[in-house]
């Protein structure tokens, strides 16, 4: 394959991009963290003739579009467009490891993988922020909003704060260390457009008093991460007064599950991304105990749930 600059490129690549937790409580659309697993795996080939095509296998693949609006394909095409290689066609094989619609950044992982893979195949013409803009197009295709709080950590790894959207600017914070991240996922009937719906329930306006409370929670979150103070970090995570109250009504037993996490010693607990999973920041070695307590709390509301424990992942999308 030869790009428009006449460079000879490799024709095929296999990449992975991790699950992520967006918002981290009060950081709606502004904060996200990469997890150590699971991953989406994407193989991409340049296709000189023919059409764009994608096949999807793996966890929940039956619910993922394999048409031109697939997040990986949209993000990959955005890179081709930005680099003047529109004529190139893509052939993709996406193996989903990140479960769709659980609040673990499934579309973010697929979008990050699509943009990252095509940029690698082209010899890395795009700088990180230009690459992020392309990955965000995958999110837009998936849920109607080009938010960056899943795609940014899925691309770059670690904990990311978005410091501006116009133009997009991101900043990498300390990786969360000395804690386990517990993710508890309830088995609920979910609409196909779950994230879009979970965004529609949010208030359009908030009183100043709530804004101040939210800013203090966000400040605690940032200061806790920066100062490696897990208690402060956790108190910030747990004090979302705007998004969590609006969304928690969509999660049966939410209040008791959160209470189970906190009363069992979690530093903090909130909704993972747009839900319905919850996440808790647990002291090291306590993740399984806290996960069980949260699962049982769901059980007392007649809701089956599964939990997993994680570490914050320094690494984002990479060639495998």
* Contacts with ligand HSE, residue ranges (CB under 6 A): 22-23, 28-29, 147, 149-150, 195, 198-199, 273-274
Task: Tell me if 64 sits within 8 A of 142, measured CB to CB.
Answer: no
Cβ proximity to ligand HSE, 147 vs 264, nearer residue? 147
Q: Is 139 a catalytic residue?
A: yes
Residue 107 CB, shortest distance to ligand HSE, in Å, is 7
Question: Cis link prior to 167 (omega < 30° from 0)?
Answer: yes
Task: Tell me if 139 sits within 8 A of 168, measured CB to CB.
Answer: no
Q: Is 195 a catalytic residue?
A: yes
Residues in the chain: 320
Task: Tell me if 22 sits within 8 A of 92, measured CB to CB.
Answer: no
Residue 84 CB, shortest distance to ligand HSE, in Å, is 30
CA distances from 238 to 178, 203, 218 (A): 18, 19, 10
What kind and span of H or E run contains 115?
A: helix 106-121
Cβ proximity to ligand HSE, 44 vs 155, nearer residue? 155
Residue among 120, 137, 139, 244 flagged as catalytic: 139
Cβ proximity to ligand HSE, 122 vs 147, nearer residue? 147
Residue 103 CB, shortest distance to ligand HSE, in Å, is 7
End-to-end CA distance of the chain: give it in Å, rounded.
21
* Residue 258, Cβ density class (10 Å: 0-12 exposed, 13-18 middle, ≥19 buried): buried
Cβ proximity to ligand HSE, 22 vs 122, nearer residue? 22
Residue among 137, 180, 195, 286 flagged as catalytic: 195
Residue 46 CB, shortest distance to ligand HSE, in Å, is 30
Task: Tell me if 224 sits within 8 A of 232, measured CB to CB.
Answer: yes
Residue 160 CB, shortest distance to ligand HSE, in Å, is 12
Q: Which two tokens stand for residue 2?
A: 């030869």
Residue 32 CB, shortest distance to ligand HSE, in Å, is 8
CA distance 20 to 261: 20
Cβ proximity to ligand HSE, 23 vs 264, nearer residue? 23
Contacts of 187 (CB under 8 A, 6+ apart): 303, 304, 305, 306
CA distance 218 to 194: 25
Contacts of 35 (CB under 8 A, 6+ apart): 18, 19, 20, 21, 104, 181, 183, 310, 311, 312, 313
Cβ proximity to ligand HSE, 56 vs 71, nearer residue? 71
Task: Tell me if 64 sits within 8 A of 93, measured CB to CB.
Answer: no
Residue 146 CB, shortest distance to ligand HSE, in Å, is 11
Cβ proximity to ligand HSE, 28 vs 254, nearer residue? 28
Catalytic residues: 139, 195
């Amino acid at each position: 394959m030869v790009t428009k600059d006449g460079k000879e490129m490799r024709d095929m690549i296999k990449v992975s991009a991790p699950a992520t937790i967006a918002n981290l409580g009060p950081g709606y659309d502004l904060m996200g963290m990469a997890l150590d697993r699971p991953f989406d795996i994407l193989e991409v080939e340049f296709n000189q003739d023919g059409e764009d095509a994608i096949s999807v296998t793996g966890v929940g693949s039956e619910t993922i579009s394999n048409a031109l609006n697939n997040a990986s394909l949209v993000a990959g095409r955005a890179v081709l467009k930005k680099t003047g290689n529109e004529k190139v066609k893509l052939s993709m094989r996406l193996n989903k490891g990140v479960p769709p619609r659980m609040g673990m950044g499934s579309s973010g992982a697929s979008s990050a993988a699509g943009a990252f893979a095509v940029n690698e195949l082209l010899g890395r013409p795009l700088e990180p922020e230009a690459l992020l803009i392309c990955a965000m197009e995958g999110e837009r295709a998936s849920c109607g909003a080009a938010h960056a709080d899943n795609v940014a950590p899925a691309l770059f790894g670690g904990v990311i704060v978005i410091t501006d959207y116009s133009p997009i600017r991101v900043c990498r914070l300390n990786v969360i260390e000395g804690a386990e991240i517990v993710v508890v996922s309830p088995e609920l009937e979910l609409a196909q457009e779950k994230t879009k719906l979970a965004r529609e329930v949010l208030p359009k306006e908030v009183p100043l008093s709530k804004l101040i409370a939210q800013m203090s929670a966000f400040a605690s979150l940032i200061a806790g991460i920066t100062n490696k103070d897990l208690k402060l970090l956790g108190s910030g995570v747990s004090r979302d007064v705007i998004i969590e109250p609006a969304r928690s009504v969509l999660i049966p037993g939410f209040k008791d599950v959160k209470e189970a996490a906190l009363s069992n010693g979690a530093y903090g607990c909130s909704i993972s991304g747009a839900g319905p999973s919850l996440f808790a920041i647990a002291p090291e070695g306590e993740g399984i105990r806290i996960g069980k307590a949260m699962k049982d709390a769901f059980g007392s509301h007649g809701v089956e749930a599964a939990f997993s424990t994680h570490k914050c992942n320094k690494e984002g999308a990479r060639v495998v």
